Amino acid sequence: MYKIFQNVYFYPLKKTLVKVSDSKYEGNIDSIIENIPDAEYDDNKGVVYNDVSVKLPSSIQIYPTSNCNLRCKYCFNDSGNIEGRNLDFNKAKVFIEQAVRGLYIQKKTKGVCNPLELNMCGGGEPTYEWKLFQDIVDYAVYLTSKYEIPKKFQLTSNLFISNKEKLDYIIEKFDHVHISTDGSEEIQNYQRPAVGGRPSYPTVSNAIKYVSDGLAKKKALCGLRVTVSGKFVDKMEDIVEFVHSTYPNVRYIQFEPLNWVRKTQRTDDIEPPAVDRYSDSLLKAHKKCEEYNIQMDACFGGVDRILKKGSFCDAVLGHCLMLNYDGDIVNCGEASKDNPQTYKYFLVGHIDDEYKINWFDTPIKEPPKKETCTKCYAWYFCGGGCLHSILEYERNRQFRCALARETIKRTLSEIIEERWSAIGLNVRKQEYEEGNIIVYSW
């Protein structure tokens, strides 16, 4: 239990807040709280991929190339400043075969038929080497169809594509397209320029309209990932407005604050948002999303999903594995050989030039907690933060920690103020002791 505000107590594992009218009612809280069951949560622990007999998880990602057609100012992969490399197609085939094999065995032995969840992503940009991209996707389609395994294919892309045949292919093959774009023309061109500093907005905007409309026709999902910098932090509500009027078939927006990465450290011309302004802006954006029936996702401020596994993200626990352009298998999308400082923590295996998978004895990763984490009211929803970003720069840890605490506190404040619809929460309110004790659970 945490005393979160004056006369307000927070029980994270019960997803409950209790407000008393006067501190003299504090002694009556325990008997009420013990009747509220713990909330449901997934506490699956991590997987260690160090055994040759182990099968791949059903959720895999493939990073075909380190090349990219954009030069985003905050690119975690330092696009344009690293050596361009492409994945050997035969290694991609081995990876897909292993994942399908595991699903097929499960189907035959347990009668459970889970889909192959394949996410094509980067950085670089997964569609940049178009033939390679297409070969990989076609092979995954072929194999899942041959063994009658259902499929769920996702593309994560900057969608800097003007060729209609390519956009049609994307609409046809994918069930979910997650587009990295930052909103209006001004923001997109400033934060995500094309090679040589050229504006990317016209091409990207046309492609988003075309693809989101095409996906809507086949009832597939299209959403945007928006990176928020210090310069445009107050524009989040405007971005929702813009998305609603420009791309009516986009179903969700995922807002993420910019982190310090190698590129931002070096260039120093863009920086993360201020914590209080980001928190204000996030709540306003949330309200706007509710108004327009757009789902809003954000890593910060969420109090609905308990991270009992003790990790901010599932991938680092091995529940999703990625094959990158070096033929390495990693459990973090931001890990790359070009960043040796963090790579050793995420390198799980390697497909060698004879196309054999070699697993390394990589222990399960957990964010190195600070002493303060275990006593923190945000722990069950924050999980200590993104492991890669905090291993990369200590200032990311400080920033993300402050952001998690502030956004969660503001969300709890919205619950106490009974503005639930603005944050998309379904809250139950119960009164005790003639209304002197009020319990909010969600």
Single-letter code of the amino acid located at 61: Q
CB of 71 to ligand SF4, least distance (A): 6
d(CA 328, CA 87): 10
Rounded to a whole number of angstroms, the minimum distance from the CB of residue 257 to ligand SF4 is 14
Length of the chain: 442
Closest to 250 in 3D by CA, of 288, 291, 295: 295
Alpha-carbon gap, residue 317 to 319, rounded angstroms = 6
Give the separation between CA 230 and CA 316, rounded to whole angstroms. Answer: 28
| Gap between the Cα atoms of 78 and 56, Å rounded | 29
Q: How far is the CB of 285 from ligand SF4 (least distance, A)?
A: 21
Of 302 and 384, nearer to ligand SF4 (C-beta) is 384
CB atoms within 10 A of CB 145: 10
- DSSP-based three-state secondary structure for 254: strand
Alpha-carbon gap, residue 271 to 434, rounded angstroms: 50
In the bound state with ligand SF4, the residue whose beta carbon lies nearer, of 75 and 140, is: 75
CA 84 to chain centre: 25
Q: What is the closest distance, in whole angstroms, from the C-beta atom of residue 1 to ligand SF4 in the complex?
A: 16
Write the CB contacts of 425 (distance below 8 Å, at least 6 apart in sequence).
303, 304, 415, 442
Nearer to ligand SF4, 173 or 370 (CB): 370
Q: Give me the residues that bind ligand SF4 (CB under 6 A), please.
A: 68, 70-72, 75, 77, 79, 122-125, 158, 180, 192, 370, 372-373, 376, 378-379, 382, 384-385, 401, 404-405
Q: Which residue of this chain has its Cβ atom nearest to ligand SF4 in the complex?
A: 123
The alpha helices in 268-383, defined as continuous H runs, are 275-292, 340-346, 379-382
Least distance between ligand SF4 and beta carbon 376 (Å): 3
DSSP-based three-state secondary structure for 21: coil
Element (H, E) at 378: none
**What DSSP letter does each residue of 38-75 carry, written as one string?**
PPP-----------TTPPPPSEEEE--BS--SB--TT-
Q: Which is nearer to ligand SF4, 215 or 401 (CB)?
A: 401
Q: How far is the CB of 408 from ligand SF4 (least distance, A)?
A: 7
**Residue 397 C-beta: closest distance to ligand SF4, Å:** 7
Q: Which residue, 288 or 405, has its beta carbon nearer to ligand SF4?
A: 405
Cβ 75 to ligand SF4 shortest distance, Å: 3
> Which one, 122 or 349, has the nearer CB to ligand SF4?
122
**Cβ proximity to ligand SF4, 75 vs 207, nearer residue:** 75
Q: Which is nearer to ligand SF4, 56 or 330 (CB)?
A: 330
